Amino acid sequence: MRTDTGHVFKLTDYKPTDFVVERIDLTFELDPKATIVVSRVILHRREGVGTDVPLVLDGDELTLDSLLIDGMEIDASLYDATPDSLTIRELPESAPFEITVTTTLSPETNTKLMGLYRTSGVYCTQCESEGFRRITYFYDRPDVLTVYTVTIIAAKDDAKHLLSNGNFLGGGNYDEGRHFAAWFDPHPKPAYLFALVGGDLGLVEDTFTTMSGREVALKIYVEHGKEPRAAYAMDALKRSMKWDEDVYGREYDLDIFQIVAVSDFNMGAMENKGLNVFNDKYVLADPETAADADYANIEAIIAHEYFHNWTGNRITCRDWFQLCLKEGLTVYRDHAFSADQRSAPVKRIAEIRLLKAHQFPEDAGPLAHPVRPETYREINNFYTATVYEKGSEVVRMIRTILGVEDFRKGMDLYFERHDGDAATIEDFLACFAEASGRDLKQFALWYSQAGTPSVSVSSEWNETKKTFKVTLEQSLAPTPGQSRKALMHIPLAYGLILPDGTEFEGQPTGGEASDGVFHLTKRKQTFSFSNVPGRPVVSINRGFSAPVNIAMEQSPEDLAHISRHESDGVARWQALNDYATRHLVAASRLARDGRNLMPAGDLADVLIATAKDDTLEPAFRAQALALPAESDIAREIGSNIDPDAIHTAREAVLAEVARAGQEVFTTLAASAPKGAYSPDAAAAGQRALAGISMSYASIAEATAERAKAAFNAADNMTVLAQALQVLAHQFPGSDETREALETFRTRYADNPLVLDKWYSIQAMAPGAETCERVEELLASPVFDHTNPNRMRSLVGAFTAGNPTGFNRADGAGYRLLARQVVEIDGRNPQLAARLLTAMRSWRSLEPGRQEQARLALLSIRDAGKLSADVSDIVERMLA
């Protein structure tokens, strides 16, 4: 295990390397237990660096087999090799020199899935962030860019396909049944973008002709027999390539673009130059095995990794503190892509839901950190919702502030000025400031201040003077390491909806407001409108223009007015969702105190009216009908949370809505598109509306029959999984549920990705008993503890997706997680640390559960030898 030095890395410590890398030649002789890596690197001493300064290269669990300088052995007194560094003294003053470093690796026993490892017989690499140093001693940092030549040698029957970054140079037979392939990547890149794959794989091929007429070979490699399931990914890839040309003028820059899907992968996917490696969950799809949400994820992630070619690869990060420079920006780009491919408002609603579900709690708890962190102990723990999702929201706000045209000018300038660079957030912001002439200094605080700002909104209508005033006040609570906060620039899109449903167009005084956006830059600002014909209703933070919490007292009548008249679909959903949230919070408080709940009549009326309104897209209606999740309600309540009370209240409201709308839901439940399955957004929207209606109808009927019939008749995974979920969550223990679970398990026993759904659905079944069921599944001999998807599908789904089960009052859920984390940490620290973050909101629980959670966290902290990954998380959570 990598030694946890406890070292804290600081943004302010940045310093360029002492030596400059000119090129690297790598040769791999692949073998499961003893892969030999020869790395020849040409370097020279950076100008001004004294001759007494040694070359210090990074390593991680490495042993040095041999070292040559300019082809010669050197005296052992001139270098030190430890598992995590190689130091070489007395190197030439200015002339370039070559070092030849040989290391031997055991891919088969590399269970961390970082560096070179083997999964289902395939050799593959994962180098971001610091995996390259597990392959050879090198400057493993993003600001060291160089050109790579890679030669791979392997036994033909062990690895038929030998792939690396860049263009194919050539290959052929070697000796004794072995062969080789050589690759050259002309684009200088940092080590984290290096990739190698060796294996016997199935291949799907296509081509793409770029805007300047070059033909690019597209290849997707999957396990044999799974080729037909890569068709949708290929289609998404071609659409992504076209979109980046159309929207940003960015063309692909190699002769070949390859994707390899592997089944053991710590994350979603990786943007290695010209050779993306994917978790197969985000490549493989067909109607029988993938649900609509899987198709949407595949489309988004294929696009995300492809878009990194410009935002990440051609322009990379100076250091890992700048991670959001590539991730936030690339998420922003993949969001825009999906919005263009699908329904933009429905896509935005899903983004808002995700941001609030994952990023807001992170920002409100012990793991809060700025979009650009200033310190870290383990960088792998910063691939977070804050860096990714909030990072994307920050870019989106730049667009809102600048407008579409100046935003594009800023992006063009960024591409032009920084192509080939390892850049910083300051570089990025300077491009937008220059392109637009706007001062973005105050705005830049979004990168350095953690926490979700709150904006309180109040308004004042003067009937006689016909004036309307909107007062906004911002605040930002302290977060770990940041006790005092500066005032932010918060762009809040708004609309004033008049009594007749039209929008008031006049401009306010009192602060900057343009194109329907209030620019809140002071603590408190009042925007005054005059000549307003009648009392308007304010719709604020339309489209979620800023990632903030809004505090506003709005009457049910006003919210209903917005949800009836808002021209903007997202704002309409926001009004509905706010209304539902407020009701559920109040109901949860009553349930907590053991009192009778108030009737949900008004809420039911609005929801049913929305369900019936066929002028609205089905996908939108489905989103409207999906009540805020238990975790959303908990987040709103904020402290002293009792998950059982929330569950009771939400179930009661669901039942009331279901009974009130039974007729509507019964009709809509049968409205799924007939005929051959198509994954397109319109058909998926119809299935979503039918699916949620089926669930309401089943709740109203209080029998499992409808869901079982849907399960039996299903001809695609979307309907099948939805039916299984209704059965397992609404009718646990029923014969129908038992039968369906058994049918599903036997039918998909040979399809791990589908079986993951079977585990997740069970893990998320509400109630205390689920904890025992999860233990039982974990203990089964067929359960694969080493596969990250499988672990996430059971342990991750239980801890992050089952508030009542995981937060069992006796603490059994926390103890289950603690045991798993310690056990997994011995093999795969990244996975262990990620699973542990499910406890990040533990301090907002009621005192009894808080104490149980604290004991579980202490048991991890005191478990003995922990990885840097897990100890960093556990210590921050307990701090």
- Catalytically active residues are 305
Size of the chain in residues: 879
Residue at shortest CB range from ligand ARG: 383
CB of 128 to Zn ion, least distance (A): 9
Bridge partners (DSSP) of residue 171 are: 181
Which is nearer to ligand ARG, 270 or 873 (by Cβ)?
270
CA atoms of 641 and 634, how far apart (whole Å):
6
Q: Is 573 in the site for ligand ARG (CB under 6 A)?
A: no
Q: Which stretch binds ligand ARG (CB under 6 A): 72-80, 264-272, 418-426, 766-774?
A: 264-272
Residue for token digits 């009718």?
Answer: 731
Burial of 857 (0-12, 13-18, 19+ CB in 10 A): buried
DSSP notation for 127-185: -TTTTGGGTS-B--STT--EEEEEEEEEETTT-SEEEESSEEEEEEE-STTEEEEEEEE
Nearer CB in complex with Zn ion: 327/351? 327
Among 558, 684, 661, 651, which residue's Cα sits nearest to residue 607?
A: 661
Least spacing, CB of residue 746 vs ligand ARG, in Å: 35
CB of 321 to Zn ion, least distance (A): 16
Helix ranges, 165-291 (H): 231-248
The least CB distance from residue 713 to ligand ARG, in Å, is 39
For residue 827, how many C-alpha atoms fall within 13 Å in the half-sphere facing its CB? Answer: 16
Backbone φ, ψ for residue 708 (5° rounding): -65, -40
Residue 380, contacted partner among Zn ion, ligand ARG, none, CB below 5-8 A by kind: ligand ARG
Question: Strands 9-10 and 375-376, how do they pair?
Answer: antiparallel
264 touches, from Zn ion, ligand ARG, none (C-beta below 5 to 8 Å by class): none
Query: Is the separation of the CB atoms in 722 and 707 below 8 Å?
Result: no
Q: β-pairing, 275-279 with 269-270?
A: antiparallel
Question: Residue count at the site for Zn ion (CB under 5 A)?
Answer: 2
Residue 170: Cβ within 10 Å count? 10
Q: Which is nearer to ligand ARG, 154 or 269 (CB)?
A: 269
Closer of 19 and 383 to ligand ARG (Cβ): 383
Query: What SS3 state is found at 81?
Result: strand
- Report, in Å, the least distance between residue 827 CB and ligand ARG: 16
Integer Cα distance of 151 and 171 in angstroms = 9
CA distances from 215 to 210, 239, 255 (A): 6, 15, 7
Nearer to Zn ion, 308 or 706 (CB): 308
Residue with tokens 């669930």: 695
**Residue 311 binding: pick among Zn ion, ligand ARG, none (C-beta 5-8 Å cut-off by kind):** none
Q: Report the C-alpha gap between 378 and 864 in whole angstroms.
A: 18
Q: How far apart are CA 306 and CA 392, in angstroms?
A: 17
Site map 801..840 versus ligand ARG, x via CB under 6 A? ----------------------------------------
Quote the least distance from Cβ 836 to ligand ARG, whole Å. Answer: 14
- Name the burial class of residue 856, with classes exposed (0-12), middle (13-18) and buried (19+) by CB atoms within 10 angstroms of its CB: buried
Which of Zn ion, ligand ARG, none does residue 128 bind (CB under 5 to 8 Å by kind)?
Answer: ligand ARG
Question: CA-CA distance, 797 to 757, in Å (whole number)?
Answer: 10
Q: Give the range of 263-271, 473-481, 619-627, 743-751 binding ligand ARG by CB under 6 A.
A: 263-271
Site residue total, ligand ARG (CB under 6 A) = 11
Q: How far is the CB of 828 from ligand ARG (least distance, A)?
A: 12
Q: Closer to ligand ARG by CB, 129 or 400: give it.
A: 129
Site residues for Zn ion, 297-356, by CB under 5 A, read 327, 330
Nearer to Zn ion, 240 or 631 (CB): 240
- Rounded to the nearest whole angstrom, what is the least distance from the CB of residue 548 to ligand ARG in the complex? 25
Tokens, residue 200: 């016997």
Q: Is 270 among the residues that bind ligand ARG (CB under 6 A)?
A: yes
| Neighbouring-strand partners of residue 551 | 456
Q: How far is CA 399 from the centre of its chain?
A: 21
Distance CA 648, CA 669 (A): 25
In this complex, which beta carbon is closest to Zn ion, that of residue 329 or of residue 836?
A: 329
Among the listed residues 39, 125, 129, 541, the single contact to ligand ARG using CB under 6 A: 129
Window 363 to 382, contacts with ligand ARG (CB under 6 A): 380
Binding flag, residue 305, ligand ARG (CB under 6 A): yes
Q: Which does 447 bind (CB under 5 to 8 A by kind): Zn ion, ligand ARG, none?
A: none
Q: Residue 875, SS3?
A: helix
Q: Which of 269, 352, 358 is nearest to 307 (CA)?
A: 269
Q: Which of 132, 383, 579, 758 binds ligand ARG (CB under 6 A)?
A: 383
Q: Look at residue 252 and give the partner it binds from ligand ARG, Zn ion, none, a contact being a CB closer than 5 to 8 Å depending on partner kind.
A: none
Binding flags for ligand ARG, 275-304, as an x/- string (CB under 6 A) = -----------------------------x
Task: Rule CB under 6 A: choose which of 25, 140, 271, 578 binds ligand ARG.
Answer: 271
Q: CB count, 10 Å around CB of 347?
A: 22
Q: Which stretch binds ligand ARG (CB under 6 A): 7-15, 142-150, 265-273, 814-822?
A: 265-273
**What's the one-letter identity of residue 288?**
E
If residue 852 lies in a helix (H) or strand (E), which one and from where to where? helix 847-861
**Which pair of tokens denotes residue 784?**
């694969």
Q: How far is the CB of 58 from ligand ARG (least distance, A)?
A: 15
CB-wise, 383 or 573, nearer to ligand ARG? 383
- The b/e string for 669-701 (b: 16+ C-beta within 10 A; e otherwise) is beebbeeebebebebbbbbbbbbbbbbbbbbbb
CB closer to Zn ion out of 124 and 476: 124
* 579: enclosing H helix or E strand: helix 569-592
Interface with ligand ARG includes 264 (CB under 6 A)?
Answer: no
Q: Shortest Cβ distance from residue 271 to ligand ARG (Å)?
A: 5
**Structure token digits, residue 41:** 């690197």
What is the C-alpha separation between 854 and 870, in angstroms, rounded? 15
CB-nearer residue toward ligand ARG: 326 or 757: 326
Q: How far is the CB of 327 from Zn ion (least distance, A)?
A: 5
Candidate ranges 240-248, 266-274, 556-564, 610-618; the one touching ligand ARG (CB under 6 A)? 266-274
Other Cβ atoms closer than 10 A to 721: 24
Our finding on whether 128 is near ligand ARG (CB under 6 A) is yes
Residue 644 interacts, among Zn ion, ligand ARG, none and using kind-specific CB cut-offs from 5 to 8 Å, with none
Given the complex with Zn ion, which of 327 and 389 has the nearer CB atom?
327
Which of 344, 236, 245 is closest to 282 using CA atoms?
A: 236
337 near ligand ARG, rule: CB under 6 A: no
Element (H, E) at 650: helix 643-660
Residue 282 Cβ vs Zn ion, minimum distance, rounded to whole Å: 12
> Minimal distance in Å, beta carbon 268 to ligand ARG?
6
Amino acid at 71: G
Which stretches of 444-552 are assigned E, i.e. beta strand?
454-462, 467-475, 490-497, 513-514, 517-520, 524-529, 537-540, 549-552
- Which residue's CB is nearer to Zn ion, number 299 or number 327? 327
Residue 383's binding partner out of Zn ion, ligand ARG, none, with CB under 5 to 8 Å set by partner kind: ligand ARG
* Angstrom distance (rounded) from CA 268 to CA 284: 13
Among 267, 371, 433, 832, binds ligand ARG (CB under 6 A): 267
Write out the residues near ligand ARG by the rule CB under 6 A: 128-129, 267, 269-271, 304-305, 327, 380, 383
- Interface residues with Zn ion (CB under 5 A)? 327, 330
